[in-house]
Amino acid sequence: MRLTGARIVMECLLEQGVDTVFGYPGGTILNVYDALYDYRDKIRHYRTAHEQGAAHAADGYARSTGKVGVCLATSGPGSTNLVTGIATAMMDSSPVVFITCNVGESLIGKDSFQEVDITGITMPITKCNYLVHQADELADVIREAFAIARSGRPGPVLIDILKNATAEEADYERLPLEEQHRHGRLAQLLGRASHDMTAPEPDLADIDRLVELIKASEKPLIICGGGVVRGRAHEELATFAELVDAPVAITIMGAGGFNGRNPLTTGMIGMHGSMASNQAVDSCDLLIALGTRFSDRVALDPATFAAQAKIVQVDIDRSEINKNVQTDHHIVGDVRRVLQLLNERVQRKYNFAWKNYVFSFPTETKYSLAGDALTPKQISDAVARIAPWDSIVATDVGQHQMWVTQHFHYDYPGQLLTSGGFGSMGFGLGAAIGAKVSHPEKTVLHITGDGSFRMNCNELATVAYYDLPITTIIFDNRTLGMVRQWQTLIYDERYSETDIAKEPDYVKLAEAYGLSGKRVSNVRDFEEALKEALASGHGYVIDCAIDKDEKVRPMVQGGDPITQFILN
Amino acid sequence: MERLRYTLAVLVDNEAGVLSQVSRLFARKGYNIESLAVGTTDDPAVSRMTIEVLAEAEPQIRLLVNQLSKLFPVHTVKLLDQAHSVRRELLLVKVAAETPEARNEIIQLANVFRANIIDVTPEALTIAVIGEEGKNDALMNLIELHGIKELARTGVIALERGAATIDEDTKVRDEFDYGKNVR
């Protein structure tokens, strides 16, 4: 049948099973929004306050559901406003398809109004991107884009469509999802094994070698990285860890990949990792790294990292092997499949002495609870007491991000939404919106700092407009806490541009958006406010006054050996 | 760390934007491209790039190859070993030759290098020579004494010696062993 390009976009979204999109309309994407008007029963669109918020929302949707997120934006500033969101998704391997429109063919290259080369700009921060000139290319490109976004190591893909291609008509034939790999560009791409869209089947000899290494090991350690979360391999990992009887250190992206209440977990690893995790890395004789790239926040000093261990890296992306840390053995494949094969082969082990040693170090930081003043630990503990155990937590970036990663137990993949790789302040509220619309039955908490919250608090407008019951908890220390912490420890207390002496009144701000808010400075008030917020059924902002000299502990400086704590 | 010269043969989609995607990858991973030659192949949908780059030895160069393979328009990346490949570059050079003696000497030099004189004026000669960089550099060094007015080099193109082809590296899905392919 003949359809306009804009309608083809809608039909293709339906082919992919998309029922929720985020975005912001504008001049060049008008045709698409016009078509959306006819599809509004099938595709729910959430309009945010700013395109960046839409990008983070689509990302949060993808991370919490495991499905592909979709985000629409117009040309020029609409598309450049997505850039931070795209890079955030890229660094954390989150599958999002961004659809932008550009000016029409006749205006391209003329510095027309709201024209920008967004495919050029996003080249290094997308898995792949497309510039579509004609309506008849659209269906093929969209099908390939979704397949690429979700396959292998997931990631963002951008499709930029010229405005004329959304207006003109082309033949469209509906193609069920399971048929798509046999047609068009996707069939061609799949013909080349270099871009196998299914995960590579792990090599059995490689698996057997790891089984041998495990057998020979007396001090095994597992690192649970983001790949375990993306690959939803949490159940397989639980079995594996028990079989090998190995402690499991969790990276920030791995949170939820291994149950935070499992007695085998040593907590977070790296710069703000627990003493147990970091000491275990230093002393283990076998390190099994699952779906982690050994970033500089984990393997702070690659040369001394797990120096006594045979390092085994399991990753779906072979270009990650040996990129940051030199490994002794590796397996390329989907971590879930690798763990299934391992679980069939590994013999039950017991490493009592090793576990006793590792768990003689604390897996959590002991923060003092003394006094009447509110502390980050008290806030976290109160949240853990009051909010449902399966609440989804979206964070921004900084001290609060580390505190809630350290203090909360994450029990399933997609429970913690945080910008671990790119470290985008302002990620949390958008991500919380994406999580809430996809999980209306779950409690969604947006935990932020005052610095991060100021970046994208405009999305409170979205929270209010769609009446999303999201509770924002601000760790408000009137300073950019993490930067200040570095200034205290490393820059001789020279507090350059970090203190925020005059903060907006966040309660009034919430009220201005039609939401409720409360400022609290002791635990009892906080508990009350949180109960009220959760019971209210609407958006709510709790502004928690904490001391500006609260620090994230422990801490190892970037580039230092992992057990060289400058704070503990 | 010491960097060595590597030659990469890369088959890519013959589409707009692919060259910038490939070259950008080298830039953002911190490598400068020493020479780059691109042309179509027997398949009009596929172009072949020959890229020369200074990089640390294995396993670093392997990481670069893996990153390159990951780009969707890239079909195949083959690391060509200098000892087992034939490599050629075309060099065009315009040399000052204002006297008959100078002209004669340059023509003799060109003959020694099996180069061709492709343009002559009373003031200058233009020479074309095909060879490996070593030979072309040697010719340049001799000609420099006469004064090089202008110079253009295509960059090296290369093929593996013997009957083996890059297509054997264009991984056929059934045969391709991901686990073993990473060194």
Q: What pLDDT, on a 0 to 100 scale, did the predictor assign at position A196?
A: 62
pLDDT at res. A368:
72
pLDDT in tens, B1-27: 678 889 999 999 998 889 999 999 999
The structure tokens listed for A499 are 């203190």
Asked if residue B182 has pLDDT above 80, the reply is no
- Contacts of residues A497-504 at CB distance under 8 Å and 24 or more positions apart, as own/partner, are A499/A548, A500/A450, A500/A451, A503/A450, A503/A476, A503/A478, A504/A454
Would you say residue B173 has pLDDT above 70? no
User: Hey, which residues 333-362 in chain A have their CB within 8 Å of chain B?
Assistant: 333
What are the chain A neighbours of B28 within 8 Å (beta carbons)?
124
Residue of A nearest to B21 (CA): A123
| Closest by CA position to A459, among listed A20, A52, A25 | A52
CA angle A524–A396–A517, rounded 5-degree value: 40
Q: Confidence class of residue B55 from pLDDT cuts 50, 70 and 90?
A: confident
Q: State how far residue A302 is from chain B, nearest Cα, in angstroms.
A: 15
Task: Write out pLDDT tens, residues B72-122.
Answer: 899 888 888 888 899 999 999 999 999 999 999 999 999 999 999 999 999
- What's A4's DSSP letter? E
Among left, alpha and beta (phi > 0; psi -120 to 50; other), residue A169 is beta
For residue A482, indicate whether it is catalytic: yes
Tell the residue number behind the tokens 């795209």, with chain if given.
Answer: A86
CB neighbours of residue A561 within 10 Å: 17
pLDDT value of position B92: 96
Cα–Cα nearest to A163, from A8, A5, A37: A5
Residue A123 touches partner B, C-beta closer than 8 Å: yes
The pLDDT score that the predictor gives to residue B174 is 39
Q: Give me the sheet containing B4-13, strands edge to edge.
A: B33-40, B46-55, B4-13, B74-80
Binary contact (B178, A201; C-beta < 8 A): yes
Residue A258 near residue A238, CB atoms below 8 Å:
yes
Taking the CA of residue B36 as centre, how many other CA atoms within 13 Å lie in the half-sphere pointing to its CB?
11
Query: How many contacts (CB atoms, under 8 Å) link A and B?
Result: 74
What is the pLDDT, as a whole number, of residue B170?
59
Q: What are phi and psi of B137, to 5 degrees?
A: -65, -40
Question: Do A123 and B20 count as a contact with CB atoms less than 8 A apart?
Answer: yes
- Which residues, in sequence order, are bridge partners of residue A356? none
Read off the tokens for A113.
Answer: 């109004």
- A116 C-beta neighbours (distance < 10 Å), count: 19
Q: How far is B13 from chain A (nearest CA, A)?
A: 11
- Extract the tokens encoding A316: 């779906």
CA distance A406 to A364: 7
Confidence category of residue B178, pLDDT binned at 50, 70, 90:
very low
Of the two residues A400 and B66, the one the predictor is more confident about is A400
**pLDDT per residue over A183-229, tens digit each?**
988 888 887 756 666 677 888 999 999 999 999 999 999 999 999 99
- Of B32, B161, B182, nearest to A327 by C-alpha is B182
Is the CB of A123 less than 8 angstroms away from the CB of B21?
yes
Q: Write out residues 295-334 of A within 8 Å (CB-CB) of B.
A: 317-319, 321-323, 326, 330-333
**Dist CA A490 CA A366 (whole Å):** 23
Name residue A250's beta-bridge partners: A224, A268
User: Which of B10, B62, B72 to probe the A interface (max A CBs under 10 A)?
Assistant: B72
| Mean pLDDT, each 10-residue run in order, chain A (568 residues) | 97 98 98 98 98 98 98 98 98 98 96 96 95 96 96 95 97 94 86 68 92 97 97 97 97 96 96 96 97 95 95 93 92 95 96 97 82 88 95 98 93 97 97 98 98 97 98 97 95 95 94 97 96 97 95 93 90
ipTM above 0.85, yes or no: no
B24 vs A331: CB contact, 8 Å cut-off?
Answer: no
Q: pLDDT tens digit string along B110-164? A: 999 999 999 999 999 999 999 988 899 999 999 888 899 999 999 999 999 988 8
Catalytic residue chosen out of the listed positions A22, A52, A127, A163: A163
Does B175 have pLDDT greater than 60? no
* CB spacing of A123 vs B24 below 8 angstroms: yes
Which pLDDT score is estimated for B177?
40
The Cα–Cα gap between A158 and A118 comes to 9
Whether B169 shows a pLDDT value over 80: the answer reads no
